[in-house]
Amino acid sequence: MGYIEDRKRELEKYLPPLTRKLDFDLFWEQSLEESRRLPLGLEVKRLEDYPAEKVHVYDISYQGMENTRIHGWYLAPRTAGGGRLPCVIQYHGFSGSRGMPSDHLFWTALGMAVLAVDCRGQGGITADHACYQEAYFDGPACRGILDPHEYYYRHVYLDSVRAVDAACAMEETDRDRIVLHGISQGGALVMAAAALDSRPAAALADVPGNCDLAVRVEGEYGSFGAAAAYLRRFPKHTDTAFGTLSYFDTMNLASRITCPVLCSVSLKDKTCPAECFFATYNRIESDKQIEIYPFCGHENAYSIQMEKKLVFLRHCNIIGNC
C-alpha cells in the first residue's frame, strides 16, 4: 500500500457514535412535508441580451422557507433538437453567493444545464427573513441554535431541497439526470439534499462541512467557530445547542443517501478537517468514491478533482452518452 491508501484505510476506521435523537426521522419527515406544502412560486426572467449567444441565461427565484425568496441563475445551452438536458445544482461555500452567470459556463460547455443558488443571509442578494428567538450573535451557525425547528440550517437544508424542485420545473431539465455539486458548505448542502431527496442521480462534494459537528465546534473549525464563541458566553446552553446541531450533522443523515457519490478531502484542511467528513462518508451506503489530497488545504486540488468528476459523471451516464 502507498501513502494515500494507508491514510485512507486509517480514516475509514473513524466512526464516532451517532448523535441522532429518537425523533430524528420524524423531525425530517415533518420538515419535508412542511416544505412540500409551500408553493414553489418560481419566477423566471430570461436575460435576452446576455453576450454568450449559445446559452440561455435566466435570473430565477423561488419561495424558500420562512417567507424568504431564494435567488439563483439557471443556464442551459441552446440545443438543436431542443431535448432535455442533465442539470447540475450548484451550492456555494460559506459567505459566497450564486455568483455571476459566467462563473457557470463550464457546465454548459459539457452540454448540461446548471442552477446556481444563493444560500440565504450570506454573500448574495438573498436575505434571511426567518425569525430567531435568540439574539443574533456571531454568524449564521448560531441563529436559532437552541431549537432545531428554528435553526438556520433547517431553513437552508430545506431551501436546498427546494432547489431540486426549481431545477425540475425548468423545461430544459432532464429530471432523471440531476447532479448536486458543492464545495465546503456547498458540499455539506450536497450531502443534506442527497439525503433528504431521492431525485438526484449523482452527488459531487468537495471538502464538505457540517459533519461531526461536536468536533467542529470543539475545534472551532470554520464557520462553527461562531458556535464555540456563543457557548463561551452562554455555557449553560451547551447541551441544548449540541442537541440542536445533531439534527443537521450530515453523519446522522448519511445512511439516507441513495445516489452515487464522489467526494474529496484535503489532509491539511483546517477549515473542514478530513477526519470530520469521514464520520459522514463512512456511513454512506450507496455507491461512493473519495479522493484524498495529502498536501492540500481547504483550497483542495480543484482542477485535478474536476477531471475526476467528469469521469465519474460519464460513468453515471450523466454526460458523454447524452
- Annotated catalytic residue 223: no
User: What does DSSP assign to residue 223?
Assistant: G
Catalytic residue (choose from 35, 61, 184, 223): 184
Asked if 279 and 273 count as a contact pair (C-beta separation under 8 A), the reply is: no
Catalytic residue (choose from 56, 104, 181, 298): 298
Q: Which residues of 113-139 are buried (b: 16+ CB within 10 A; e: fewer)?
A: bbbbbbbbbbebebebebebebeebeb
Strands (E), 78-119: 85-91, 113-117
- Report the run of H or E that residue 106 belongs to, with start and end: helix 105-109
- Annotated catalytic residue 269: yes
- Report the run of H or E that residue 55 belongs to, with start and end: strand 55-63
- Annotated catalytic residue 155: no
CA distances from 132 to 124, 136, 142, 145, 169 (A): 20, 8, 10, 9, 31
Residues with a known catalytic role: 184, 269, 298
